[in-house]
Amino acid sequence: MTTCPRRCLLAADIGASKTSLALYDAATGPLAPLAATTVVNASARSLEDIIAGFLQGQQVRPRFACLGVAGPVIDNRVRMTNLNWTLDSRVLQQQFGLEQVTLINDLVATAMGTVHLPADRLHTVNSGHADPMGAVAVIAPGSGLGEAFLLRRQQDIHPYPSEGGHCTFAPTDEQQIRLLRFLAERQGHVSVEQVCSGRAIPTLYQFLCAEPPAGLEEPAPLPGADRNPTQAIITEALAALAHGEAGHNLAAATLKLFWNILAAEAANLVLKVLATGGLFIGGGIPPRILPFLHGPTFMSLFSRGVYEEMLCTVPVHVILEQQTALIGAAAYGIASLRETGR
């Protein structure tokens, strides 16, 4: 390797199932990586092995790193929520000869990435009227349910983490009350993540199998359900929609229930941080099931209660860019370098 002539940053998005890495020149910003790769975590023993393998094939060596990680970051150290990895910035800094390593929550990275996305990487659900100085909320159903928010101070944007996905699920109608009872009888506490994430989709399907709404057909075996039940349900639902059969299909009903729960939880987050600057829906699930997102229905569930009028004005976007968290990690790292004068 050779030393990068400018400030070179290693950024990463480290999720439960895969890790995306990229090198950036701080002078050219977070949308122009020098090199990038994505690795399935199960193929490696540790994050250190993934980083080493990536850097081995590069012509430049980074001096700094900013890593978005799926888990709460405390004292620049994190034990990942859904993967048995513990990351420590000091260990990584020493092992790879870096001047600085910053660990941030992956939803902090996603939140930071949203402000850099071009319009064609967003699907707008509600144009609304964004308050230019208002907070911005981010909710992201992927393997789990991530939440975060951005606050504006003068000309700077500051992202903050949240573990709101582990808050108690609050049903909004009779069907969801039955869903809460269905799960509570089996496991006790029911978090919103357990009904609004990729891993929750099979749970919603099982609930509808046990308590099918009127007019739905009897469920047939789903091809591939033994390997990846979430994908099998999504595939079945999309096929039913394409054939005009979604109104009677259990998998399609599952995705509609998912969107209904997401709309309510998104409104909860917006209200808690007063996100008049907008809501961004990220994660790997929403872009895959966009055909089941009906804007008016979503907004009718999103805009309710005492602040219904205010919620109607909040811009709502679905993030289509798969590398938003990686972009955000790079943006956070570059901003940190600027703040420290490096």
Cα separation, 278 vs 255, in Å, equals 24
Contacts of 120 (CB under 8 A, 6+ apart): none
Cα gap 104→87, rounded to integer Å: 11
Among 87, 64, 94, smallest CA distance to 3 is for 64
Number of domains in the chain: 2
CATH number at residue 86: 3.30.420.40
Per-residue pLDDT for 2 more than 50? no
> pLDDT band for position 1 (50/70/90)?
very low
φ, ψ of residue 200 in degrees (nearest 5) = -80, -20
Domain span at 90: 2-111+323-340
Task: State the average pLDDT over residues 289-304.
Answer: 96
Asked whether the predicted pLDDT for residue 234 surpasses 60, the reply is yes
59/158 same-domain check = no
146 and 54, same domain (yes or no): no
CA dihedral angle for residue 281, residue 282, residue 288, residue 294, rounded to 10 degrees: 0
> How many angstroms separate the CA atoms of 55 and 179, rounded?
47
pLDDT of residue 302: 98
Same domain, 305 and 246: yes
Q: Region 85-89: what's the mean pLDDT?
A: 95
Shared domain for 138 and 7, answered yes or no, is no
Rounded CA separation 267/304 (Å): 8
Determine the Cα–Cα distance for residues 232 and 24; give it in Å rounded to an integer: 37
List the alpha helices (DSSP H) in 116-197.
174-187
**Are residue 137 and residue 240 in the same domain, yes or no?**
yes
List Cβ neighbours of 205 (8 Å cut-off, separation of 6 or more).
219, 229, 233, 250, 251, 254
Does 146 share its domain with 247?
yes
57 and 170 share one domain: no
CA distance between the termini of the chain:
22
Q: In this model, does residue 330 exceed pLDDT 90?
A: yes
Tell me what pLDDT residue 306 has. Answer: 96
| Residue 5 predicted with pLDDT over 50 | no
SS3 176: helix
Average pLDDT over residues 257-286: 97
Chain-centroid distance of CA 85 in Å reads 19
With cut-offs at 50, 70 and 90, classify the pLDDT of residue 216: confident
* pLDDT of 291 strictly over 90: yes
Mean of pLDDT values over 107-118? 94
Does 327 lie in the same domain as 310?
Answer: no
Question: In the chain, helix, strand, coil percent, each to 5?
Answer: 40, 25, 35
CATH number at residue 167: 3.40.367.20
pLDDT in the model for residue 6 = 61
Residues 22 and 169 in one domain: no
Q: Determine the average pLDDT of the residues in 314-321.
A: 98
Averaged pLDDT, 272-278? 97
67 strand-pairing partners: 12, 103
3-state secondary structure of 1: coil
Q: What is the pLDDT of residues 179-214, one digit of tens each?
A: 999 999 999 999 999 999 999 999 999 999 999 988
The rounded distance, in Å, linking the Cα atoms of 28 and 34 is: 10
User: What number is the average pLDDT over the span 129-149?
Assistant: 94
In a shared domain, residues 38 and 123: no
Q: Are residues 94 and 128 in the same domain?
A: no
Residues 68 and 147 in one domain: no
Q: How much of the chain exceeds pLDDT 90, in percent?
A: 83
Looking at residue 156, its pLDDT comes to 84
Cα 131 from Cα 104, distance rounded (Å): 26
Q: Is the pLDDT of residue 17 over 90?
A: no
Mean pLDDT of the chain: 93
